[in-house]
Amino acid sequence: MIRTSVDPKGLALSCEIEPADLEIFSDRNAIVHVLQNLLENAVKFTPQGGQIGFRAAVEEAHANVQLIVWATGIGIDPNDHVRIFQPFVQLDSALSRRYEGIGLGLAYAARMVNLLGGTLTIESELGAGSCFIVTLPYGNH
């Protein structure tokens, strides 16, 4: 999906799925839109030559599945972690912003994940990259 954006920037892309035959019983289109949004942000905020990754894994102890999108991008100050999930919030509000967008992508993703019965969290530090974690209920339906 994002290969056309990754290649011109020379980004390394990795993908891990554990177990390899992992199936998620949920709204396919919603999950695809959320992951597409998170991956597009990863590409947008990762400088040339950086790394982007996706990992899907079952967290059996908690009956969850985690979908993780990480990148070696610009990172986000921990003080802004709650704010970025609010609609129309952009951390770079200067008139000549370096990154385009209107600040709805992460708000949409968080709301959609919530409607699916899950959570969207972030682990990030300014200048050290970001990791967005979608946690969804998991079970054999």
Q: For residue range 91-132, list pLDDT tens digits in order.
A: 554 433 455 555 678 889 999 999 999 999 999 988 889 999
Q: Is the dihedral of CA 18, 132, 107, 138 positive or negative?
A: positive
Average per-residue pLDDT in the chain? 84
Q: For residue range 62-84, list pLDDT tens digits in order.
A: 789 999 999 998 888 887 767 77
* pTM for this model (two decimals): 0.84
Token pair listed for 73:
């991008």
CATH, range 3-137: 3.30.565.10
Is the per-residue pLDDT at 139 higher than 70? no
Distance CA 32, CA 45 (A): 20
Question: Of 70, 74, 86, which Cα lies nearest the Cα of 132?
Answer: 70
What is the domain partition of the chain in residue ranges? 3-137
Distance CA 81, CA 52 (A): 20
* pLDDT given for residue 15 in this prediction: 94
